[in-house]
């Protein structure tokens, strides 16, 4: 798929509130949300510097995703940031987090995102270098479409993996619903629908011929860059 067409397809597929950050090989970051594509290139385009902060030196730029420039022991952001790996051709059990997440995918992944507005599942294919923002309580499942391990970088606010609301599965939501939690009842229906569609939707099954060729070229580039 042509890169511009890939961005356009993301902009029409993503549910409201979700955002994909695409890191292109030429150093440009594209932020894509529902019906919106924005190019971030602050070192070369003055218009992209407007909402950026100085990053240590003049001429370097940064944007905080979680926390702020004033984050410190006296002003904590309560955020976590971690590295993960997903087995080839496998997926996480569909779940929802009690806090927002940012997931950087460095391989050929896909994600099922439950669109609360449409009451439907948005099936999103991700290419290497895509950063996905998942709002709190949006049911989703992350897939590795390739036959190699999928490295991820994950940042989230407010809770670690031992927290009871870190990853709420359908079974957990059903137990809460039995205890009278009305919000959990709605979550059960969304997660069960997500489970069914993730198992049958071909978007999550494999990499395309074009992606396999691109993967080979990426690996070749890695060999060349490693010898620079």
Number of H helices, E strands in the chain: 4, 14
Q: Is residue 111 within 8 Å of 149, Cβ to Cβ?
A: no
Provide mean pLDDT across the span 184-212: 92
Name the pTM for this structure.
0.83
**CATH label of the domain that carries residue 162:** 2.60.120.10
Provide mean pLDDT across the span 111-117: 95
pLDDT of 55-74, one tens digit each? 888 888 998 888 888 888 88
Residue-number span of the structural domain to which 173 is assigned: 3-69+77-226
Q: Is residue 91 within 8 Å of 126, Cβ to Cβ?
A: no
Q: Is residue 225 scored above 90 in pLDDT?
A: no
Neighbouring C-beta atoms of residue 168, cutoff 10 Å: 21
What gap in Å lies between CA 73 and CA 90, rounded to an integer?
39
Domains in the chain, number:
1
Q: Is residue 18 within 8 Å of 43, Cβ to Cβ?
A: no
């Amino acid at each position: 798929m042509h890169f511009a067409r890939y961005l356009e397809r993301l902009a029409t597929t993503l549910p409201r509130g979700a955002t994909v950050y695409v890191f292109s090989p030429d150093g440009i970051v594209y932020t894509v949300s529902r019906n919106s594509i924005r190019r971030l290139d602050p070192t070369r385009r003055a218009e992209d510097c407007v909402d950026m902060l100085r990053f240590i030196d003049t001429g370097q730029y940064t944007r905080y995703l979680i926390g702020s420039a004033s984050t410190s022991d006296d002003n904590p952001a309560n955020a976590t940031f971690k590295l993960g790996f997903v087995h080839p051709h496998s997926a996480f059990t569909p779940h929802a987090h009690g806090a927002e997440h940012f997931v950087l995918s460095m391989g050929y992944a896909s994600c099922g995102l439950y669109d609360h507005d449409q009451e439907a599942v948005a099936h999103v294919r991700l290419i290497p270098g895509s950063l996905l923002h998942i709002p709190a309580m949006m049911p989703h499942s992350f897939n590795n479409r390739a036959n190699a391990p999928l490295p991820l970088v994950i940042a989230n606010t407010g809770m670690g993996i031992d927290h009871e609301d870190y990853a709420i599965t359908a079974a957990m939501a059903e137990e809460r619903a039995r205890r009278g939690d009305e919000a959990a009842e709605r979550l059960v229906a969304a997660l069960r629908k997500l489970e069914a569609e993730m198992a049958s939707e071909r978007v999550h099954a494999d990499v395309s011929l074009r992606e396999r060729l691109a993967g080979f070229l990426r690996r070749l580039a890695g060999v060349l860059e490693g010898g620079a």
